[in-house]
Amino acid sequence: MLAWINVPSIGPPPAGGDVGWFLFDNGKSGVYCPAFGMVIDSTGHPRITARGGQGSQKCDPAMTATSTRVVPTKRWVHVAAIYDNSEVRFYIDGLGETPHTVVPVKPYQPIHDLWIGGEEGPHAAPGGRMSGAQIWSRALSTAEVQQAKSFGVANTGGLVGSWGFEEGSGIAAHDSSPNGLNGTINGATWVKDCPN
């Protein structure tokens, strides 16, 4: 999962919790946990989660990793979290950090819509800007993450969805991947200072 983001500030949302901003989420608050997700936590660290789909709310088993670095605020930043079976690699502006060793968890087949830039529930963040969001079904290499930062990574297989948010008006979010997973924009405002 990767995207360009512009975080206005760091801190907990009004409803409480430890998530400052949901970047990708396909769970339903209070009903079931997301199969996978990426957030900026309330202290400004990127965090990725994958869940195996067991238990009443599909929360177990779970894999979670948190970056050691804090996302800068009030400017455009490229963030990526790459999950490769037993490790997670975080990148901020194309610069990686030491991989995090994790217990492998295969995400369950999602049963809920994917939310990009928010979540369905009371813990949605008060806002931020996003552009160039992508989800891949394979682990990208460091070179590919750096290419994605420059909007130049070739789809050599595994691109699940790519949403540039370049429409400029309306409520459609077009997916430029071969899968055509177009979305509906809910409560967002178009801006013109995006990096792409």
Nearest to 47 by CA among 100, 114, 4, 126: 100
Q: Is residue 67 part of a domain?
A: yes
Q: What is the span of the domain harbouring residue 139?
A: 2-184
Q: Is residue 191 part of a domain?
A: no
* Interatomic CA distance for residues 196 and 185, integer angstroms: 19
Q: Is residue 33 exposed (0-12), middle (13-18) or buried (19+ Cβ within 10 Å)? A: buried
Q: Contact 45/67 with Cβ under 8 angstroms?
A: yes
How much of the chain, in percent, has pLDDT values that exceed 90? 44
Q: What is the CATH number of the domain that holds 99?
A: 2.60.120.200
Domain count, the chain: 1
Q: Is residue 189 part of a domain?
A: no
Q: Is residue 17 part of a domain?
A: yes
Which span out of 44-58, 66-80, 121-135, 182-196 was modeled with the highest average pLDDT? 66-80
User: What pLDDT does 1 receive?
Assistant: 93
Confidence grade of residue 106 (pLDDT, cut at 50, 70, 90) = confident
Q: Is residue 19 part of a domain?
A: yes
Q: Is residue 34 part of a domain?
A: yes
The pTM score is 0.90
Task: For residue 67, give every residue at least 6 positions away whose Cβ sits within 8 Å of its Cβ, in sequence order, or none.
Answer: 45, 46, 47, 81, 90, 92, 97
Q: Is residue 150 part of a domain?
A: yes
Nearest to 6 by CA among 121, 169, 165: 165
Q: Contact 139/82 with Cβ under 8 angstroms?
A: yes
What would the mean pLDDT of 119-146 be, rounded to a whole number? 82
How much of the chain, in percent, has pLDDT values that exceed 70? 90
pLDDT exceeds 80 at position 98: yes
pLDDT exceeds 70 at position 130: yes
Length of the chain: 196
pLDDT exceeds 90 at position 79: yes
Q: Is residue 190 part of a domain?
A: no
pLDDT exceeds 90 at position 136: yes
